[in-house]
Structure 1
Amino acid sequence: MAGRILVVDDIATNRIVMKVRLAEACYEVLQAEDGRAALDIAQRERPDLILLDMMMADMDGVEVCRRLRADPETADIPIIVITASRQSDHKMRALAAGADEFLPKPLDELTLLARVRSLLRARETAQELALRDSTRRALGFAEAAEIFARPGTAALISGQREQALSWKTALKGRVQTGLTVMTRTQALALPETSASPDLFVIAADLDRPGVGLRLLTDLRARAATRHAAIMIVVTEGDHQTAAMALDLGATDLIAAPFDPQEMALRLEAQIQRKHQADRLRASVKDGLRMAVTDPLTGLFNRRYALPHLRQIVSRATETERPFAVMLLDIDRFKTVNDRHGHAAGDVVLQQIAQQIAANLRPVDMIARIGGEEFLIVLPETAPGLASRTAERLRQQIGATPVLLPGGIGSLVISVSIGLALCDPGAEGCNDIDAILSRADAALYRAKSNGRNKVTISPSAA
């Protein structure tokens, strides 16, 4: 997972060591030597995550957190505070000021990198929701109706009911959230039609080692609980389990035995973020479904695709990160309709749409913009990855026969793809008409050279 990380520490050696660790994991690293420099770089460069030392000469990490959260331009950047201090009040102050995590020195590299991955995934999802919401508003839809804040709900799940009840007692009076003690079986039996808890607090081991992590993966696989916040309670010092939980989809961790104040701060922060994501998700879903969705394939249509592409181009210009645009066309589609009827043609379109979606990331944009033509946009994607993705799509579609309706047989379908690589700053890479023209020209060459090909139009110099 690519990302730019700002390391803030007033000791140069610490910054260098951290840079080496992160660079080995293929992250781009920015550095700041004090709080003021950190605020300036964060405002100017908009890093994807900040690793912030607690104690610095000009201001402490708590004050830097407060200022970052108070600035709309930097308010959503994840922050991990790192310190040699073991004092509980330092941790509480940092979490209250908006830090996402507080890690003591010496750092466990396994936990640190897992936490970085987890926070970057969450940020990517939040940015994609916000981007889709801004596209919705760019299309002229009204602002989503203001939803009054509602109390959150949390389910507490432990291998021993007495332990879960002790958690509930410890949190009583510290949070506004409704707390329910629940078993593993009850959590998995939640129906899709009912309101599920906003947050699950789960003991990592439950009644047997690893069972809590299996419950985590089960909850992520179910529609009713897929978007819930999930906090895993791990044993102090169990770095392997902590890292595994984060990589499996936990949104937060807390070490047992925990400080009730820390649990309360983490719990309320997780529920607030979950409610914000719910609001964005609902506004996108309800505001766009009918107006900008292709009814046959369920993909976005041209009305949505072009404004969203404009948003992606604008963001790429700000971040200076490459992206790619594909035009994918089904080969000899008219022949399918002529020989087998329009019902068969519809099935082909639906299956191709499903295969495209199954082979791309959630952040990628897919739209049906013509009869048998699809537009695909890959944000923050290097040229090599873009070309491999296009080739994988072509091969996957060609290797999967389409079953025709009525049991009349199957068809092997091929596609041609024109790929435009875009490097922000290059000529024409901030002009969507020019980008689409390049992709269209590449698609035409793919068709002219025998179809069932990927042809690339590189970024202009």
Structure 2
Amino acid sequence: MAGRILIADNVPTNRIILKVKLASAFYDVSQAATGSDALARARELRPNLIILDGNLGDMTGYAVCAALKKDPLTAHIPVAIITPAHDTTARIAALKAGADEFLTKPLDELTLTARVRALMRASATSEELRRRNETAHALGFSEPASHFETPGKITLIGATTEEAMTWRAGLRGMTSDEIVIERGDHVLEAIYNGNVSDLYVISAQFGGGAEGIRLISDLRARDATRTCGIVVVHGQQDRREALMALDLGANDLITRGADPEEMALRLRTQMRRKKESDQLKQTFDEGLRLATIDSLTGLYNRRYALPHLEKIAKESHENGQHFALMLVDIDRFKLVNDSYGHAVGDDVLVEVAHRMRDNLRGMDLVARFGGEEFLVCMPMTTLMEARAAAERLRAAICARPVAISADGTPITVSASIGLAMGGGIGGQAPKVSDLIAIADQALYGAKAEGRNQVALGSYAA
């Protein structure tokens, strides 16, 4: 399944229609008929996304959302509230209640699924932050709470300078964040010079539309802006480009001409998510880093990886989601050490670690498991996605030299990868130790078949 969604509506027909639309996209959908039922089901199921109608009979959707956001067990779950079309008051009420998104009636299927995919990405980041904090506590470390009160920076990129100035005028007095206006064709130059923002608000009409889409791809491809918030302002005529923008990595869409208060509330939500993402990237204080980070490669070490992997396995089985586990071993690494020395061997390990980290998602776990062996765990991942990711890692490692010897010889290495799959619905969940053994056997199989390849463990097959 692509993820678990809880929908709450006091009209059975509405629930059925929405469930059919979401189930056709292979989401696991649960239902609630009242507000109190929705609160109980949310605590029980811990879904990846909750969609509420504005009227749930015993409670309003806004009251349910506010209660969900106050409960530590459900506060991290993204919530979308369904509001009437063209009802600005309802939209603002939804955002003030803590909703991450609102959906307007009638629900258009393309818009619905694009919005859901974007919210699922946000859910994965928030869930991983919570999971890593719990792992830190399990290891005996605590992390101070952060309320993300430090002002951020927002860059406005309008189709024209006048459009961006109109946005800034509307936001005046509604946010404490620094707001700057930038020409679209100068944004990448500003980032190159170190002038990076937390959020980028981009007009769908910038550069005729194509340039705005290209800018989103560029922002997501750069280390400095990979986790930035991206909000696209669009009109009805830009709807297709706007939905494409969501799938390319935009976090939110705002309709052109929206109430300034709505824009301010949406940007506040995205700023909070950006700060969460920053915390996810930094993760732990220096004490925890010393205990859980491999000093050579900068990756997590075995001490961190095993309890974190146990947590991913437990939650994946409970949620009916699959996860991938890989063991990655550098081929003939002893020959590198014997031929060029251990210092060069260390350089090889560091570069391989960097390439692996650069080719995985922020929520994926990559750790040095011992010697020249690495462990990778990818939550919420299907077998097809896992195989593609494993091939991507293998290709990235051998694509070009990883080090240069003292005499100037370029050193190229390859890697063998053993893959096992865990999680899913039903049955007895295999132990993490068993999954590691399966991946290890697959790794030996890859070595036996000639190295530099991916082998699938027998359990996953």
TM-score by length of 1: 0.85
> What is the aligned partner in structure 2 of residue 313 from structure 1?
313
Distance in 1 (alpha carbons) for counterparts of 2:148 and 2:398: 50
In the alignment, what sits opposite 1:125? 125
> How far does the alpha carbon of each residue in 1:260-298 deviate from its partner, in whole angstroms, 9 at most, with x for none?
221122122222222233234334375655543334444
Deviation at residue 19 of structure 1 after TM alignment: 1.9
> Cα offset for 1:102?
1.9
CA distance in 2 between counterparts of 1:391 and 1:191 reads: 31
Deviation, 1:436, is 3.4
1-structure distance, mates of 2:456, 2:158 = 55
C-alpha distance in structure 1 between counterparts of 2:396 and 2:243, whole Å: 33
Deviation at 1:67, TM superposition (A): 1.6
Task: Give, as a single letter, the amino acid of the residue that structure 1 aligns with 2:138.
Answer: A
CA deviation vs aligned residue, 1:396-428 (integer Å, no higher than 9, x gap): 767877676344465564526364645587557
Compared with structure 1, are the counterparts of its residues 185 and 238 closer, same or farther at alpha carbon in structure 2 (3 Å cutoff)?
closer
Query: Would the aligned equivalents of 1:426 and 1:459 in 2 still touch at CA under 8 Å?
Result: no
User: Could you give the per-residue CA deviations for residues 6-27 of structure 1, whole angstroms, max 9, x where no partner exists?
Assistant: 2222222222222222222221
Mean Cα deviation higher: 168-177 or 323-332: 323-332
User: Structure 1 residues 419-428 or 327-336, which shifts more?
Assistant: 419-428
Indicate the larger mover: 22-31 or 128-137: 128-137
Find the counterpart in structure 2 of residue 456 from structure 1: 457
Q: CA RMSD of the aligned region, Å?
A: 3.4
Paired residue type of 1:62: Y
Unaligned runs of 5+ in 1: none
Equivalent position SS for 1:240: helix
* 1:284 counterpart SS class: coil
Matched, 1:202 2:235: no
Equivalent residue number for residue 160 of structure 2 = 160
Q: Deviations over 1:207-237 (max 9, x none)?
A: 5333333333333333333322222111146
CA offsets per residue over residues 59-106 of structure 1, 9 Å max, x none?
A: 221122112112111112212222335322111111110112222222
Partner of 1:231: 231
Corresponding position of 1:368: 368
Deviation at 1:120, TM superposition (A): 0.7
Q: Which residue of 2 aligns with 1:326?
A: 326
Q: Compared with structure 1, are the counterparts of its residues 28 and 281 closer, same or farther at alpha carbon in structure 2 (3 Å cutoff)? A: same
Answer whether contact 2:143 2:284 (CA < 8 A) is retained.
no
**Aligned partner of residue 159 in structure 1, secondary structure:** coil
Mind listing any 5+ residue stretches in structure 2 that lack a counterpart?
Answer: none
Q: Distance in 2 between matches of 1:416 and 1:277?
A: 29
* Structure 2 Cα separation of the partners of residues 389 and 212 of structure 1: 28
CA contact (8 A) 1:387 1:419 kept: no
In the alignment, the residues of structure 1 paired with residue 399 and residue 185 of structure 2 have an alpha-carbon distance, to the nearest angstrom, of 40
Partner-residue secondary structure (3-state), 1:230:
strand
Quote how far apart the aligned CAs of 1:31 are: 1.8
Once structures 1 and 2 are overlaid, which stretch shifts more, 6-15 or 328-337?
328-337
Alpha-carbon distance between aligned partners in 2 of 1:390 and 1:37, rounded to the nearest angstrom: 42
Residue 273 (structure 1) aligns with: 273
Deviation at 1:142, TM superposition (A): 4.2
SS in 2 for 1:57: coil
Q: Could you say what secondary structure the match of 2:121 adopts?
A: helix
In the alignment, the residues of structure 2 paired with residue 393 and residue 219 of structure 1 have an alpha-carbon distance, to the nearest angstrom, of 22
d(CA) in 1 for partners of 2:452, 2:160: 59
The whole-number CA distance in structure 1 between the counterparts of 2:275 and 2:396 is 37
Is the CA contact (8 Å cut-off) linking 2:325 and 2:375 kept in structure 1?
A: yes
Corresponding residue number in structure 2 for 1:4: 4
SS of match in other structure, 1:74: coil
> What is residue 222 of structure 2 aligned with on the other side?
222
Residues 1:165 and 1:193: Cα distance change in structure 2 (over 3 Å) = closer
Q: Is the 8 A contact 1:108 1:239 kept in 2?
A: no
Residues 371-405 of structure 1 show CA distances to partners (whole Å, capped at 9, x for unaligned) of 22222223234456546655675677678776763
Assess if the C-alpha contact under 8 Å between 1:390 and 1:419 holds in 2.
no
Instruction: Specify the alignment match of 1:436 in structure 2.
Output: 436
Percent identity of the aligned residues? 46
Structure 2 residue 61 is matched with structure 1 residue 35: no
What does 1:264-303 align with in structure 2 at a 5 Å threshold? Answer: 264-284=264-284, 289-303=289-303
1:52 is the counterpart of 2:52: yes
Query: In 2, distance between residues paired with 1:247 and 1:107?
Result: 18
Kindly indicate whether the alpha-carbon contact (under 8 Å) linking 1:5 and 1:50 is maintained by their aligned counterparts in 2.
yes
Once the two structures are overlaid, the 10-residue window that deviates more, 384-393 or 237-246, is 384-393
The 8 Å contact of residues 2 and 321 in structure 2, kept in 1 or not, is answered as no
For 2:447 and 2:395, the matched residues in 1 are separated by 16
Alignment of 1:15-94 (within 5 A): 15-94=15-94
Q: Tell me if the contact between 1:48 and 1:78 (Cα under 8 Å) persists in the aligned partners.
A: yes
Q: TM-score, normalised by structure 2?
A: 0.85
Letter in 2 for 1:417: G
Asked if 1:417 is matched to 2:418, the reply is: yes
Instruction: Give distance in 2, aligned partners of 1:178 and 1:399.
Output: 42
Identify if the C-alpha distance between structure 1 residues 210 and 349 changes in structure 2 by more than 3 Å, giving closer, same or farther. same
Does structure 1 residue 180 correspond to structure 2 residue 171?
Answer: no
